[in-house]
Chains A and B, each alone.
Chain A
Amino acid sequence: DGGITQSPKYLFRKEGQNVTLSCEQNLNHDAMYWYRQDPGQGLRLIYYSQIVNDFQKGDIAEGYSVSREKKESFPLTVTSAQKNPTAFYLCASIWGQNTGELFFGEGSRLTVL
C-alpha cells in the first residue's frame, strides 16, 4: 500500500546525543515536510523540501538538520544543539503538481532522558 513510513515509532536519547528519524514515502510525492508537535500545541514546521537535493528552513529549524538525496526519503537529525528535543515528530508529503493534499505518517515520539 502507498503511504508514508516513519521510524522508529518511539526513541529514547540521552542528552548530548544526535538521533536521526527516518521518513520514507512511496507515493511519488515531490514535496516533503517535518513538523514538531508539543502537548496542547499545533504543528510547527521544522524543514521542508520541494525537490531532491533542495530544502528550506521552517519556523523552528535551529538544532535540526535534514537531507534529501532521494525523492522518497527525507531523514531528520535532531542534534545535541536542540535545547528541548522531547516531542512528537511528524513527516508529511504532497504531490507538487496536484491539488496539494497533505498526507502524514504515523509519527515518531522522541524522549530525551
Chain B
Amino acid sequence: KQEVTQIPAALSVPEGENLVLNCSFTDSAIYNLQWFRQDPGKGLTSLLLIQSSQREQTSGRLNASLDKSSGRSTLYIAASQPGDSATYLCAVRGSGTYKYIFGTGTRLKVLA
C-alpha cells in the first residue's frame, strides 16, 4: 500500500531564504507526482506536476525533482517571500490507477 510522508511538518524561515521541502513515497510504481499549495480554509492549488518519466519540473521560483528509485521528490523554493506562507502537499498517483495518495503536508511560514 502506497504511503506518502512529508518532512518537516512545519518550517519557519526568514524572507529571501532558499528552501527545500521533502516528499517520500514507499511504492516506486507511480504514474505521476503533483505538488500543491493550500492556504487556510481554501482548496488546493496545483503548483507542479511531474510525470514518472521526468526528473524535474520548473515554474518561476519553484523547482520540483523526482527520484523514483529512491522514492523521493523535493520542492525547491528560491528566494522565499511572505506570500509563500502556506501548507504544501504532495500527492502520488500509482501506475494503473486513478487514485491519488496525499502526504500530510509541510506548513511553511516565511517571516518578513
Contact = CB atoms under 8 A, between A and B. Distances in A.
Interface residues of A, number: 28
Contacts of B42: 106-107
B44 A90 contact: yes
Contacts of A45: 99-101
Contacts of B43: 6, 90, 104-107
B43 to A, nearest CB: 4
B89 to A, nearest CB: 7
A103 B46 contact: yes
Given A42-B103, A58-B99, A100 B31 contact: yes
A48 B45 CA distance: 19
A43 B102 contact: yes
A68 interface: no
A63 B54 CA distance: 39
B85 interface: no
A102 interface: yes
A5 to B, nearest CB: 11
Nearest to A41: B104
A100 B32 CA distance: 8
28 contacts: A6-B43, A31-B98, A33-B100, A35-B102, A40-B104, A42-B104, A43-B44, A43-B89, A43-B102, A44-B102, A45-B101, A48-B99, A50-B98, A88-B41, A92-B44, A99-B32, A100-B32, A100-B49, A100-B93, A101-B49, A102-B34, A102-B44, A102-B46, A102-B93, A104-B44, A106-B42, A107-B41, A107-B42
Interface of A: 6, 31, 33, 35, 40-45, 48, 50, 58, 88, 90, 92, 94, 96, 99-107, 109
Interface of B: 4, 31-32, 34, 36, 41-46, 49, 51, 89, 91, 93, 98-105
